[in-house]
Amino acid sequence: MKFKRIVGVFLFVLFSTALAQTDAEKLAGLEYSLNTISLLFFAVLVVFMQPGFALLEAGLHSGKNVINIFMKNILDFAIAGIAFWAIGFSIMYAAPLFINGYSAASFPGTADFFFQMVFAATAATIVSGAIGGRMKFSAYLIFSVIITGFIYPYLGSWKWGGGWLEQMGFQDFAGSAIVHAVGGFAALGAVLAIGPRIGRYSGKKVNAMPGHNMALAGIGVFLLWIGWFGFNGGSQLAFASKDDALAIGNIFVNTNLAASAGAITALLASWVLFKKPDFSMTINGILAGLVAITAGCDVIIGPWAILTGAIGGIIVVFSVPLLDRLKIDDPVGAIPVHGIVGLWGTIAVGVFGGANLGVQILGAFAYAIPALLSGYIVFSILKMTIGLRVSPEEELLGLDLAEHGTEGYLMDDPLRDPIILNPKAV
């Protein structure tokens, strides 16, 4: 009896243990799959930033360049998809080429790659708006390969690849420096290499060249705001525990507080400076708030997140006219928003987030300067080789017709009817 009972107990224990073991496996599988699904959904949110940037840039540029802007924003994403897969990811994370057999601990290597790839695409796409309206399409394509295949991955490896900045304790949670400052300062290098649009500056005079469609810019900024929840939230990179959940809840709130604050301070600053609450400054202010909090969205909490974003919004309103005075023609504000505020956001982790301030400053410039130089150098080489800029006639005609042979907008217009007086022209 006793024996039986003990055996019974034993078997029972064995059985329950066996069950527990299967359960433990299932549990591990669930953790793994929750991590994966979450990471992929966050990545998809980040993909919304691609149409976000395309729309923002298209809206703030002239209507004769709308196709060109979409082409650049589509192609840099397509190129990132291939180049970062073939080589970039391997440079950044010391992984095999073509993510061939690469695996990560708590989710598939493919999911890890996909999430990181959309970050590379973001860094690349930041440049496209700043040089819009004058750059040869072919030159931009080559640059896209270089930045997503080499520049961004190499710089990124210093921190996210476990390199020297990681060793020094540099903090950049979701990439104020690694993604945004790199993109923004590469854009500055590019603008220095290509120069302003024709007619933008005459002597000391700055000529406004207003964007053609504020509705497009407005949709764009909403998509960017939404995408940023993926950008910052997903950077937690682990989701299947209570601690991670707490972290991500925090990240969402801090991200949104900073964006809201950036919108409000940019609005107010433009209202004071220019006497009217300015639209394009306000939407730049949202992005500034978002860029500012990106590095410290995990550790800059509540009121400090508001302050971080608020300062970002103000920086932008003051930087845009400053750049114009320096004749740096950045039609969409990519340099202030991503570059300058990217620096601020990185440093803010030292000010409000408990990181070492010196290291943060070092890290910020360790990204900004090489990005600036490499942007400038790559585009200067392109200038000397295949040429960087369309002809003045093409620029005035618009890149849609000059580069792509098609107009972006065509309203039904009887005057355009193709029946022809001049038979030779047919």
Partner 1 sequence: MKLITAIIRPKQLPKVKEALFTAGVRGITLSKVSGHGGQGGMVEQYRGTQYVVEFHEKVRISIAVSEEFVEPTIDAIVQSARTGKVGDGKIFVQPLERVIRIRTGEEDTEALTPVAS
Positions in 6-25 near a copy of itself (CB under 8 A): 6, 9-10, 12-13, 16-17, 19-20, 23-24
Calpha distance 269→247 (Å, rounded): 32
Residue 201 backbone dihedrals phi, psi, to 5 degrees: -125, 130
What number of chain residues touch a copy of itself (CB under 8 A)?
Answer: 131
Q: Does 207 bind a copy of itself (CB under 8 A)?
A: yes
Task: Tell me how far the alpha carbon of residue 402 is from its chain's centroid.
Answer: 28
Q: Does 314 bind a copy of itself (CB under 8 A)?
A: no
Q: Does 113 bind a copy of itself (CB under 8 A)?
A: yes
The answer to whether 160 touches 350, Cβ cutoff 8 Å, is no
Residues that bind partner 1 (CB under 8 A): 206-211, 270, 273-274, 276, 278, 280-281, 317, 320-321, 324, 333, 396, 401, 405-407, 413-426
Q: Which is nearer to a copy of itself, 82 or 168 (CB)?
A: 82
Q: Which is nearer to partner 1, 121 or 316 (CB)?
A: 316
**Residues ≥6 apart with Cβ < 8 Å to 220:** 51, 52, 53, 54, 55, 56, 57, 58, 59, 283
- Structure token digits, residue 413: 């217009």
Q: Residue 333 binds which one of a copy of itself, partner 1, none, with CB within 5 to 8 A depending on kind?
A: partner 1
Q: Residue 292 binds which one of a copy of itself, partner 1, none, with CB within 5 to 8 A depending on kind?
A: none
The answer to whether 232 touches 294, Cβ cutoff 8 Å, is yes
Site stretch for a copy of itself (CB under 8 A), options 127-135, 222-230, 347-355, 380-388: 222-230
Calpha distance 384→315 (Å, rounded): 35
Coil vs helix vs strand at 205: strand
Q: Does 54 bind a copy of itself (CB under 8 A)?
A: yes
Sequential DSSP letters for 333-389:
-HIIIIIIHHHHHHHHHHHTS-S-HHHHHHHHHHHHHHHHHHHHHHHHHHHHTT-SB
Calpha distance 200→213 (Å, rounded): 19
- Structure token digits, residue 329: 């023609």
Q: Which is nearer to a copy of itself, 52 or 156 (CB)?
A: 52
Q: Does 198 bind a copy of itself (CB under 8 A)?
A: no
Nearest approach, Cβ of residue 278 and partner 1 (Å) = 7
- Structure token digits, residue 400: 């849609």
Give, in degrees to the nearest 5, the angle at Cα 29 between 27 and 30.
65
Q: Which is nearer to partner 1, 215 or 425 (CB)?
A: 425
Q: Out of 56, 146, 174, 240, name the contact with a copy of itself by CB under 8 A.
A: 240
Calpha distance 228→387 (Å, rounded): 35
Q: Which is nearer to partner 1, 100 or 422 (CB)?
A: 422
Q: Does 273 bind a copy of itself (CB under 8 A)?
A: no
Buried b (16+ CB within 10 A) or exposed e, 360-385: bebbbbbbbebbbebbbebbbebeee
Q: Does 263 bind a copy of itself (CB under 8 A)?
A: yes
Q: Does 88 bind a copy of itself (CB under 8 A)?
A: no
Positions in 131-170 near a copy of itself (CB under 8 A): 137
Q: Does 5 bind a copy of itself (CB under 8 A)?
A: yes
Q: Residue 137 binds which one of partner 1, a copy of itself, none, with CB within 5 to 8 A depending on kind?
A: a copy of itself
Q: Residue 369 binds which one of a copy of itself, partner 1, none, with CB within 5 to 8 A depending on kind?
A: none
Positions in 376-415 near a copy of itself (CB under 8 A): 398, 400, 403-412
- Structure token digits, residue 68: 């060109």
Q: Out of 94, 96, 274, 385, name the contact with a copy of itself by CB under 8 A.
A: 274
